[in-house]
Each structure stands twice: as C-alpha cells, then as structure tokens.
Amino acid sequence: MSLSRKLGILLYVAIIIQTVAGIVHLYLRAEKKPDIYRLLACYVVFFFWLFNGIAESLANGTPMLPLAIRFTILPVSITSAFMLRFAVHYSGLVDEKHARRTYLFFLPIILSLAPLYLNWHPELVIKKMVGFTAITEWGPFFLANTYLSYVFLSVGALLIFLKLVREGGFAWQKSMLVLAFLVTIVLNYLTLSGRIEHPGFDVTVFGISLILFVLWDLIARFKMIDIVPQAAYSVYSRLRDGILITDNEGTFMEHNLAAETHFQELFDLTECRNIRTFLLHLNHHVDDKDMMQRLIDIIDHSNSDEVDAIGVLFPNGDIRQFDFNFLSIRSDTGKTIGRLLQWRDVTVNRMLTVEKERLRLSDDLHDSLGNCLNIISSNLEYVLDHYENADNNRQYIQKSYDRTIGAFLDMRRIVDELNPIELEKNGLVWALKSLFGKLGGKGIDIDFYCSEPEHFSLLNGRQSETLYFICQEALNNAITHGHAKTIDVILNVDDHVIKLYITDDGIGCDAIIENKGLKSIRNRTESVKGVFEYGSPTDGGFNLKVFIPTQYELITHPDKGNTDRRSDNQRAGVLAE
C-alpha cells in the first residue's frame, strides 16, 4: 500500500472519531428538535461514507474493489441531499407540516445511480475502470449526480448563511462555514476535472468534515438551532399572550402571532430587530413612564421579574392594560441561552376585578360599619329614654364604645384596602407598628414582638400584604367580638417559614364558628400556600397561628420540622396547642 493511501486511512480514522463524537453530542442535545435530527442524519450518512472509504482503500487492487465502490458511492451522493434537506428546514423555507416533500431531493440522486445498482448499463455510472485499481472515466449519470451535488451543497450553504445573517452575530463562524463549502466544491471539481493529481484518497471528505464541524460548533457553542423546540411552535403560536424570544444580546429569534397583532395599530413589530427597539416603540404609547422604565431596567439587567398593569394608549382613545413578564431561558447546566418577554392583555380582567371590588366594598360597608352604627344608635337611644337608670346606662354606653372601636377598625381596614399602606416602601414591620400604634390610642394594649425585623424586608409584596391584613382582621375580631383589652403579636422566621402568633385576653368562646373574619384569614393564608390554626382556651381568650413558607414551599403541618416549637409557644404565652 502506498504512503498516500496509508496517510489517507489515518486521516479517515481521525475524521471518523470526530464524526462519532459529533453524532453522540447531537443525539444527546437533540431534545426532539427536528432540525438537529436532520443534521444528525447528515453525520450518520457521512460516517458510512468514511467507513466505506476505508474499505475501498483496503480493497484497492483486489476483486472486492467494484463492490466496495458500490457501497461508497451511495453515501457520497446522498450526503448533499441530506445537507440540503437540513438547510431548507433550518432556514424556514419549508415548515414542518410539509417536511415529507423534501424527501424528493433524494429522487434524482437515486435515479442517477440506479443503473449501477440494478446492473443495467452500469457504464452510465462507471464508464471505464483499469483492472481492480482505479476508475479512469466516469459515466454521464455519475457526472450529472456530481454536479447536482454541487448545486445541493451551494444552495444549502446559501440558505444557512442567509438565516445566520438574519439572526446576527456568528461573524467568524459564518466565514468558516462559507469557506468549508467552497473548499468542498473546489477540491471535488479540481480532482474530477484532472486539474490536480489525485492524491490516492477522496479529498472531498475533508471539506465535508469541515462543514459538519463548523455546524456542530455553531450548535454546541453558539446555539445556532433555535432555543425553542420546534415541537412547541404549534402550541405557543396559538397562545393569546404575546411572546418574544431573543438571544442573549436581545436580538429577536422568534415571536408568536399574538405578539405581532397586539400592537399592530401602533407600530410594525417586524421592523424591530431587538427587544430594546421594541420597548422604545412601545414607550411612545404608554401612560405610566415609571412602570415602563422599570420594565426596561429589568431587561437591561437580565433579571427575571414581572411588571403589572402598564397602560397602552391606542389611536381610538382606548387604554388597554398589559402585564409583562420577563424570563431568562437556561440550559440544563444553568447557562443562560436566551430570554423571553411575555405580556398579557388584562384590560377585561381588571374591569371585572374593579366591579367585583365595588360590590365587595358595598357589602363590607353594609355588614361592618352599617351594623356597628345601627347598634350604637340603638344603645344611645336607650340611654336617652332611660337616663335615670345609671347601671344600665353604663352598660349600654360601654357597648357603644366597644362598637365604636370596632367601627374604627373596619373603617381603617376598608380605607387601607382602597389605598394600600406603603408596604413595599416602608416594609411590613413598619406597617404593623403603625397599625398597632393607632389602636393603642383607643385603649387597646398591643404587645408586638418581631425577631430579626430585617428579614421581613426581603419578603415579596404578596406575602407582606397577606400578613398585614391577617393581623388587621385578627385584631378586629379580638376587639369587636372578644372585647379584648390586651393582644400579643409575635412574628418571626424559622426554617424558611414565616410564623405569626396572635393571642388576646378576650372573653373567648366554647364553640368556634368560622365567621367572615376567620374565613378571610384562612383564604388569605391558603392563597400563599400557608396553613392557619386557631383555638380558645377554657379560661378565656383566643389565639391563632399562621405559617407561611418564604418561598411558597408546601407545609403539610405547621409544626413539622420545627426545631424551635417550644420557644415559639413560650413566647406566645397562652397559645393553644
């Protein structure tokens, strides 16, 4: 065997190792993406080309050479068809529902080689061969097959290149990809035309291996294949939420129909090449510049977060409300590979919420303040009619006073719900101290203990608001129904669980029925995946316990895993087990 053939076999083996590595990597990263499977098919066919190429070199000069050539020619010819099929799908020229049509690329390849495999005028493929050593002249069918392969490779390279140009980036990789295709075509042409001496092995494999290596590099390191699985396109394209998917630099990679139609009256989304351009266009039509700036800051810093209710003014004068959600898309290893901006038109939902709140407020005013004022007026009327009876008068005046305190609490609660206290700005602990301070001036002694107050500044808005309104409702119940004069409130965080204990010295009750206040506390607690327990000791008073996970982990029992239960209960005083 000549030195050139030995060198060729060694190079073939090296390329086979690289190809097998590419096959394994692509298969593990395919994640049901059809485009990667199509490129994987190119790798597999190329592997058989290399394997049979080695067999052909070893069979040179033996009677097995014609058979080895027949095994080699087929993968050599159809590799270009596999490459073109990958390119037309990757570029978006053909969508998934028409995928079967691209199998027609193989038809001219198979027809041009049929005479050789059917042994029907095989000279149309191989015209002249010297013994069992070399082919001196190819037939017209094989030459047509070769030039068709040039066309397939050229068109495929152009389609892939144009898609990469549209996506931006990949400058060095684009150049390498074009160079790999040109090397493959030029080497093949020069060898077949006899312009350069045949080195004794197929030089085309090196060009093809370079193409596949560059494509592999683009997928492995630069995420050339869309980060959104093709299988999910048909699902997310039908979502009513607008969705924009970008790469790490913010350049648009994909968007669904809703994203294109939501703001089509304001600007053309297709003219926005990146997320910043999109937000700048949208900023011209929003009514709350501060909220919009917050969204821009979130995106600039690549933070996953949500922005509620940005009003967008449309040409017809309507203001529609949109909630925006920004997420980072991460790989299995945790590396950020893209970003997603999602928004939802919540105009109708907010209108329904406002109407529902109006009805709730009307019922609340009637049930709470109306009832209290009615009792107060009845008591005062009795006092006026029986002012000579001092003992009874004192009793009714005391009841009226207690009802006045209850009415004050109801009014404070309703006002706070209409004009929420600045929990986000001042923090939960400040808000609770403010609430307790106002009640302290009404003859109610409230003892508030909070361990490590700085921890509560890290809670999200929903958790803080829930705890605030639970305390407000519990105090209202203690004063209005329990006639309590002293209330203990304990708030701490232990083992990633927020623990709230409230106990009072009221009259208590034998049979506890969940009224509107207790149901409200339970609903608020369960809305943040927490648990709520309450009880009334036999010697009077009432107590409740609320446990809320700091990260919304589900608590199956409030004391499960609590290593400091005894100290919590000791600090809570008369809390019932």
231-345: CATH superfamily: PAS domain (3.30.450.20)
DSSP class of 270: G
Distance (Å, whole) CA 269 – CA 574:
63
For residues 306-319, give the mean pLDDT.
82
Which residues does 14 contact at the CB level (< 8 Å), separation at least 6? none
Provide the pLDDT for residue 575: 33
pLDDT in tens, 347-401: 877 666 666 666 666 666 656 666 666 677 666 666 666 666 666 666 767 677 6
Where exactly are the structural domains of the chain?
Answer: 3-222, 231-345, 347-419, 421-577
pLDDT in tens, 472-508: 888 888 887 788 889 999 998 877 889 999 999 988 8
375: helix, strand or coil: helix
Provide the pLDDT for residue 523: 86
pLDDT in tens, 161-173: 787 777 655 566 6
DSSP class of 109: H
Provide the pLDDT for residue 141: 93
In this chain, the answer to whether the domains covering 3-222 and 421-577 adopt an identical fold is no
pLDDT in tens, 2-49: 676 677 778 878 888 888 888 888 887 666 577 888 888 999 998 888
Q: In the chain, what percentage of residues exceed pLDDT 90?
A: 9
Give yes or no for a contact between 543 and 474, defined as CB atoms under 8 angstroms apart.
no
Q: Is 82 a residue whose pLDDT tops 90? A: yes
Provide the pLDDT for residue 197: 58
Provide the pLDDT for residue 276: 86
Convert 189-198 to b/e letters by CB count within 10 Å (16 or more is b). Answer: eebeeeeeee
Provide the pLDDT for residue 240: 81
State if pTM tops 0.75: no
Q: In the chain, what percentage of residues exceed pLDDT 70?
A: 71
Q: Is 111 a residue whose pLDDT tops 80? A: yes
Q: Is the dihedral angle over the CA atoms 454, 459, 463, 464 positive or is it negative?
A: positive
* CATH top-level class of 421-577: alpha beta
DSSP string for 385-449: HTTT-HHHHHHHHHHHHHHHHHHHHHHHHHHHHHS---HHHH-HHHHHHHHHHHHHTTT-EEEEE
Provide the pLDDT for residue 224: 65
pLDDT in tens, 214-265: 888 777 665 666 544 444 555 566 678 888 888 777 888 778 888 888 888 8
For residues 437-452, give the mean pLDDT.
78
Q: Which of 131-135, 141-145, 295-299 has the lowest mean pLDDT?
A: 131-135
Single-letter code of the amino acid located at 11: L
Distance (Å, whole) CA 540 – CA 505:
7
Give me the helices (H) in 442-495, please: 461-480
246: helix, strand or coil: strand
Provide the pLDDT for residue 556: 46
Distance (Å, whole) CA 37 – CA 32:
8
Q: Give 112's pLDDT tier (boundaries 50, 70, 90).
A: very high
What are the angstrom distances between the C-alpha of 202 and each of 52, 212, 348?
11, 17, 68
Provide the pLDDT for residue 494: 79
Provide the pLDDT for residue 568: 40
Distance (Å, whole) CA 130 – CA 142:
17
Q: Which of 161-175, 273-287, 318-332, 410-424 has the lowest mean pLDDT?
A: 410-424
Q: Is 341 a residue whose pLDDT tops 50? A: yes
317: helix, strand or coil: coil
The token pair at 12 is 């073939």
Q: Is the dihedral angle over the CA atoms 198, 199, 200, 205 positive or is it negative?
A: negative
Q: Is 576 a residue whose pLDDT tops 50? A: no
- Closest by CA position to 484, among listed 451, 455, 443, 522: 443
Q: Give 560's pLDDT tier (boundaries 50, 70, 90).
A: very low
Within 13 Å and on the Cβ side, how many CA atoms surround 216? 21
Of all helices (H) and strands (E), which one includes residue 130? strand 126-130
Provide the pLDDT for residue 477: 83
Provide the pLDDT for residue 107: 93
Distance (Å, whole) CA 502 – CA 477:
11
Within 13 Å and on the Cβ side, how many CA atoms surround 309? 6
| Measured CA angle at 28 (ends 24, 29), to 5 deg | 115
Give yes or no for a contact between 307 and 283, defined as CB atoms under 8 angstroms apart.
no
Q: How many CB atoms lie within 10 A of CB 427?
A: 18
Q: What is the mean pLDDT of the chain?
A: 77
- Per residue, the 3-state secondary structure of 140-200, as one string, reads HHHHHHHHHHHHHHHHHHHHHHHHHHHHCCCHHHHHHHHHHHHHHHHHHHHHHCCCCCCCC
The token pair at 297 is 């800051």
Query: What is the Cα Rg of the chain in Å?
Result: 38
Provide the pLDDT for residue 57: 78
Q: Give 544's pLDDT tier (boundaries 50, 70, 90).
A: very high
Q: Give 78's pLDDT tier (boundaries 50, 70, 90).
A: very high
Extract the runs of DSSP E, i.e. beta strands, from 230-278. Answer: 242-246, 252-255
User: Fold for domain 3-222?
Assistant: Rhopdopsin 7-helix transmembrane proteins (1.20.1070)
Q: How many CB atoms lie within 10 A of CB 59?
A: 19
Give me the helices (H) in 344-389, please: 347-364, 371-385
- Report CA dihedral (79, 85, 86, 90) to the nearest 10 degrees: 160
Provide the pLDDT for residue 577: 29
For residues 456-483, give the mean pLDDT.
81
